[in-house]
Structures are given as C-alpha cells and as structure tokens.
Structure 1
Amino acid sequence: MISSISEWEPLVEELSQYAKVILYNRAGCGKSERGTKTRNLNENAKDLHTLIHKLELNDPILIGHSYGGLIVQYFAIHYPNIARSLILVDSTSVDAHLLDEVEIEGGDETSTRAWIQKCKEYATLSKEHLQVEMEGWIETLKKKLPLQTHNEISEHMSNPYMFEILGEELEHDPFYMKELKVQLDGFPDLPTIVIGRDPEVSIKQMLEHEGLEIREAEEIERIWQSLIQEQTNLNSQTEYMLARGSSHDIHKEKPKQILNLACSLLDMTY
C-alpha cells in the first residue's frame, strides 16, 4: 500500500526486454493526483480500468503485490474478459481482518486500527516534517534499491497526500472486501499464479524488525499462509509458487521468480 514504483525498476528493466511494461502509482501516491473521491478498492479498480482503456491495451497480464494483488482480484471480478492472466504476489486477502485478531503483547502497531490513526497524523504533517518522521524507513529502502531511485523514494515516502488516501483505503476497504468475498465464486477462469512468501523468512523478519514474540509471529504467519493458500482456489487455472528465501517483498528479494513466471505467461499467451 505504501511502496513506490521505484522498487520495481530493477525487475521491470529486465522484463521490458520481453514485453511492454507499465508501472503506475495509484491516486494520491507518487506524482498521481489525489482526485476528489474517497479512495477505496472500487475506485482503485476503476482507475486501473480507465488506464487500460486510455492506453488501448489488449489482453494485459496484471501483476499485483500485497494490496495491489487485492486490487487485481477486485478488478478481475468487476471487469472480466479484460486481463489475459494474473500474477498475485503475496497478495492481501479478502479475509485480512483475521490478522488483526492476533493478540499482541503491549498492543499491535501494525494493526489496521493503529495504521489508520498513524495515517491521519502523518497526513497533517508538512513534507519536511514527514521526511524526518519516515527517515528510518527511507534509509532502509535506499540500502536495497539502486542509487538513481533514492530521490524518488524520499519524495514518495514524505507525501502527506499518500497517507491521507491510505487512511481512507484502510477505513473504507473492509466493506468492499466483504463484497468481494461473496463474489469470488464468479472469479474469471484465466491463468492465475499465486506467489507466497517463505514463512520461515517472514517469521524471522517479524522477530528481528517488528519486535514480536515468537508465538505472535508464528500465529500471524500461520494465518497469512492459510489466506494465501485460499487464493489458490480462485479458479481452475490457479497455480501456487513459493518464493523460497523471501519475505513479503518478493519483487525486491526474488525478482527473477516473478520475471520467469511473467515470461512463462507470455509464452503461453502470445
């Protein structure tokens, strides 16, 4: 939900040798305008549909990571017969609310409720103040990404409008997630690949970087993995792939896997 498209540039540079690749920031993020409507899954899917129509794209392969994967699922249901195939990269689930039910000692700063509150606070800060507030996160990202992306990363992470729309999405999306869950039986039968993170790596990251107890991390990961496995039932053509050795950020840690899977779909469809 908060990532810059800069994170995808190393992967896209290679993938663009085989196909036309389009990256975009959703409304309110990066240089994309915030717009006038309340932000939610429905509006994000509409924007994707408008983008595809405006660029006159035929039979695109849609790749969505995390929240982007949830948007792709919503899009596939509401705009069938547009995408040729889908890749869901450790995608958010329609039942993501189950993660908030894990009891975290001392309170969970990553819960939906906590993030809504943070976003409301961050949205009131100036760009300069926000850059100071997000300094640790920005520096961590810079260490993992090429030098030419660093300015864009700083700009992206210090945008108060992004936190404003993020807060709206977190607040309003549960309604659309419930709607989507009911509609999943009608998911279009097109080639779909579900990529899931490595549970051992993910648990280790939660212990080291989020300060969780082992019991808490294991329970969160158990739920996450079960939600990923449920996505393998989206249609009769869904395949599951484990991103062995990767945490949630598969596009940064195991980009070759996404590249190879996208190329396999290109061979299948063109």
Structure 2
Amino acid sequence: ETAGEPRFLVWGDSHAAAIAPAIDLAARQMGISGMFVGRGSCPPLPNTDFGPPGAVKRCIDHNSAVMSLIEKRKFAFVFMVGYWPKYVHRDELPGQGIFFDPRVVPSRTDWSTPVRKGLDATLTKFARQGSKAVLVMDVPEMGYDVPEALARAAASGRSLDIAPSVEYTNKRQALARRVLADAARSSGALVVDPMSAICDASRCHAMREGTVLYKDGDHLSAKGAESLSALFRPVLSIMRESVQAASR
C-alpha cells in the first residue's frame, strides 16, 4: 500500500513468515514497501546442505528462484530469516510440544560448517550485485506449545512463566548466533536480534503485558511479532536514507 517499488525482500522459512508482521508494521509506518517470499523448512541458504537430503532437495528450486528474483528486481536490502538453531544442530528441542522437558539438554552437535559456507557464498553474491543482507537472529524457542501450556497453567493455578531459563536458551542459541555474527562481521551485513525484546536478565517470556507472543513452541504469533516492530526501525531507517539518497 506504500508508494513505489518494493525496496526490500524478506526471505526465509516459516520463522520468516512468523516474524514478517513485525517488519510489515514498521515498514508501513515508515512508508517503505517490501516483498515476502518463503517456504516452510527452507532456510535462505541456496545450494547448502542444511539437513536430510530430502529436506534440502525440496528447497533447491525455491531458493534458486528467489536468488533469480533478487538479481532481477535488484533489491537493495534482503532480510534473511530462519530457524537457525535447527539448521546448525539439525534438531529441534527434545520432546518439543506437550512432551518438552527443559531438564533434558538440547543437542549440541555441530553441523554449522555447511551453513557457514552457504551463508558466506550467498552474502558474497549479494555484495557483487549490490544487495545488502540483514541477518535476523532467531527468536528464543519456548519448547512448549505456548497457548496450550498457558491455558493448562492458568487452569491449574500454576505460574504463567512457562519459558525455559535464559541459561537454557543461551546454550541452545549460542552456535547459531555465533555463525550469524561471524557472517555479518566478515560481510558487513546488518543484524537484527529479537532476543533482548523477549528475554530479560533472568528469563525469556512467552507472554508479555497480556499478549501471547507465540502460537506454538517456536513461531511468534501475529500479535507477538507486531510487538517487536520497533526492532526493525533502525534498519528500515538506513533503507529509507539509502532510497532518498539514490533518488536525489
């Protein structure tokens, strides 16, 4: 609904779709238009071995088409969003859903090498064609199916603080965050990190000020995503300045 051609692309898997309302709201407020392309369980990693062969194969054509779109439309900025911990460990949280137990340590197996290589190759290609990447760190995983877990807690009079501890989340997210930070540092990509908006010094939160932030164990709800829109304003300000400078 904003004027002009889309200036940015949001690209990723279902986590990209879940956080897209945050970017959408901030972009609307700032008068910048963008486009979203995504496919569930397909990270923005073309030609990358990020999981079982069947999972990788179903994403090849999609990600190839996205890269062609970026080159054709000459997007100045590309948000890259994914379920990063899943891809660097090739595993979700143990027992995620009704059987999740934060006492069970999540997988620490390091499958990050192909993810690093895929990111570096993609960011190098972006640099050659004049696109700036915005790497979006993943949101903390809740493990539990949040709406159901909150309902059960409320019905039984238990605490609504159902999220795993910050220590648990930090251990789970450490490798993925390091991979993205290293890629940003070497390529000059921008970074948006939702962690501080969902977690404080002692714990992360599945609900804040009456808003349920998640719709399941690891995807933001639409309202939860919109509550994070301010995180994207600094990056969108850079985009707007870039567009204004190019039009002078």
Q: Which bin holds the TM-score, normalised by the shorter protein?
A: 0.3 to 0.5
Please report the TM-score for the alignment, with normalisation by the length of structure 2.
Answer: 0.45
Which structure has greater helix proportion? Answer: 1
Please report the TM-score for the alignment, with normalisation by the length of structure 1.
Answer: 0.42
